[in-house]
Amino acid sequence: MKNPILLAAAFVLSAGLCAQAQPAAEFFKGKKMTLVTSASVGGGYDQYARLLSRHMPKYIAGNPSMVVQNMPGAEGIKAANYLYNVAVRDGTIVGGLQRNTGLAKFYHPDSSNAQFDARKFTWLGSTQQEIGLFLSRTSTGVKGLEELRTKEITVSSTSRNSPSSIYPRLMNALFGTKIRVIEGYDGSQTSLMAIERAEVDGHISGGSSAAFRARYRPWEKSGTVNIIMQLGMERDHEYPNVPTALELAPNKEARAIFEIAFVEQVMGRPFVLPPDVPADRVALLRKAFDETMVDKEFLEEAQKQGAEIDPVSGARINELLDTVYSAAPELAQRVRDLVK
């Protein structure tokens, strides 16, 4: 008599191999997909996750359902660890991560908190690219880099590890500016309120959401505040005449450092798959993501919610991360020293 345990094991193995071999066009039929977002309910990352979950399934063969599961914690690290180490790798689990997740192990290679290799995620893409803005009160007389090198100004920030503190430190080190960071504000809105109250001279943002822009635009129109620099890989279409820090970089090393720091900006609102998802399902899901980004109903809903859509492909994100993590050791250490 054949061993029933061995027969059962063989059956399970065979079923698993059949599931892996099942064509992507058939695999998702009737499936319930989960989008695990690293954000709490109601935040910007959660908003984009729910937008995507409502519209992307119609571009996935088999028309599966997709539900959102919130998994906040450790600035996105908790969700990233789950996706990398626990989540099933069949394509039914999608992750919505925070833009700083991709460089977490680059900045802190010895940290035990981030238990993943960002390069081994399959990045589906990002719904938005971020561009930070340097706001300065016009009463300071500061119009650009030349004045920043000769006059000290104060800027508001949330904490030392936020872009609103990191970017000023990079500028002081690489441009010779005299920016003094006042940390401790509990968010971008209170950081902007500090400008309104004249507690500080300006603010350097990591991004520029609809709520952020709505807050400072009246000051810009009244001439109270100027946008004197942009923090990102390219210029915002609303400020075509305002240079980026990358464009102003004084030498190759400074440019390389800004290019590393601004990878997070390109990643904006990223979505991923766990490692080792079958290649045909990866191709199907990446295509579905890209098609969603130009879907009329998706764009209309995003516009109603004030959610900007400026997509980046998953392949582009993977390329950028490969470039960052292959940086020369001396350059990598220089960046880590400046941001810590």
Q: What is the pTM of this model?
A: 0.80
Q: How far is CA 321 from CA 102, 122, 313, 324, in A?
A: 7, 11, 13, 5
Q: Give CATH for domain 132-262.
A: 3.40.190.10
Longest dimension (CA), the chain: 91
Q: How confident is the model at residue 76 (pLDDT cuts 50, 70, 90)?
A: confident
The residue assigned the tokens 């061993």 is 3
Looking at the predicted structure, is the pLDDT value of residue 48 above 50? yes
Whether 101 and 38 have beta carbons less than 8 Å apart is answered as yes
pLDDT at 6 over 60: no
Specify the pLDDT at position 9: 40
Rounded mean pLDDT, 215-221? 94
Which pLDDT value is given to residue 17? 45
Token pair of 102 as six digits: 């991709």
What tokens were used for 188? 């971008």
Its CATH architecture, for the domain 25-129+268-339, is 3-Layer(aba) Sandwich (3.40)
Res 295: pLDDT: 97
Domain-wise residue ranges, the chain: 25-129+268-339, 132-262
Instruction: Give the CA count within 13 Å in the CB-facing half-sphere of 89.
Output: 14
Mean pLDDT within 307-328? 93
The answer to whether the 25-129+268-339 and 132-262 domains have the same CATH topology is yes
pLDDT digits (tens, 9 = 90+) for 246-294: 999 999 999 999 999 999 899 989 999 999 999 999 999 999 999 999 9
List the 179-182 sheet strands across, edge first: 179-182, 153-156, 202-204, 132-137, 225-231
